[in-house]
Amino acid sequence: MPTIEHKLNITEEEVPEHIRRLAEEQGECPSSKDQIIEQFRNYILEQNGCQPHRNDAKYLQKFLRARYWKIENSYKLLCSYYKFREHNKSYYEKVRPLELRHIGQSNILTVTPYRDQHGHRILIYRFGLWRPNRVTIDDIFRATIVLQELGSLEPISQIVGGVGIFDLKDLGLEHILHLSPSVAQRMIALLVTSMPIRTSALHIVNQNWVFNAAFKIFNPFLNSAMKEKLYIHGSDMTSLHKHINPEHLPKRYGGLHEDYSYTLWLDMLREQCTGNSVQKDMEQLGFIFDQVLS
């Protein structure tokens, strides 16, 4: 059984040896890493297409890891990230993560406090539980961004990325009415194109006939590479198990684990991150903690 702990692994020392070997296979060379980061920093200044709020090695490294240490691709990701932030300021500025407890209480989304057999954390959406009259789509985006930004602080997640499960049980027309093309585009941006953490796979489970309507909204924004990462399983959990070992899944998907609420991650932020580098990193992005964490 994997270790169950609501704790961020934010130090390089916590990266297991087999993940370090994977990082080297992806292009991360310990002897030349500092040189590539410096080249990336200079490339950003030369191109002048976006102005990151930080250019220290630790920050730039996560963009390089997300794009296998290819400077041009990492720069495109960096600019895409800041473009997303600029167009969606309300998802960052003056957002108080600890006031998003209603998302956890609704069980709409969470991320596992353990990793799968490849080192991924698993982001789980249960859209059938979403009540649009109680929880706005914007709050779902805000809650997702909090998780994505926290995950991007973990060196292990920077290297291996993450996986998503979209549980569409009880998805209804009342949900489809809130899934406009712009919402679909933002969701793809968050999970695939604009965040400094890769999504290695997206798994669709328990879909019903409404899924076809929803997929038509998302499909125009999926390129061939994205479609190769998309797996549709229906209610056949043995199909899902070919990708994620049951040892690393909740019981509802044929696994061994209980469900762990999003609110437990908010508790972690409140209890473990007061005044430390995680809080400072998040505050630099526009999030507000002072009234709750003081």
Confidence label for 203 from pLDDT (cuts 50, 70 and 90): very high
Question: Cβ distance 260 to 113 under 8 Å?
Answer: yes
Q: In this model, does residue 41 exceed pLDDT 70?
A: yes
- The boundaries of the domain holding residue 116 are 98-262
CATH number at residue 238: 3.40.525.10
Does 276 map to a domain? Answer: no
Query: The tokens 């991320």 sit on which residue?
Result: 111
Q: Looking only at Cα atoms, what is the longest distance across the chain? A: 55
Residue 290: pLDDT above 70? Answer: no
Same domain, 69 and 208: no
The pLDDT value recorded for residue 276 is 84
In a domain, 122, yes or no: yes
- 140-176 tens-digit pLDDT: 999 999 999 999 999 999 999 999 999 999 999 888 8
pLDDT for position 160: 98
Please report which helix (H) or strand (E) contains residue 44, including its range: helix 33-47
- Which pLDDT score, from 0 to 100, does residue 292 have? 46
Share of the chain above pLDDT 70, in %: 97
Number of H helices, E strands in the chain: 15, 5
Question: Per-residue pLDDT for 293 more than 50?
Answer: no
In the predicted model, what is the mean pLDDT of the chain? Answer: 92
Residues 156 and 181 in one domain: yes
CA distance 15 to 36: 20
- What is the pLDDT at residue 1? 64
Side chain identity at 173, as an amino acid letter?
L
Asked which of 57, 90, 123 is the last residue of a domain, the reply is 90
- Can you read off the two tokens belonging to residue 188? 């793809």
Residues 121 and 228 in one domain: yes
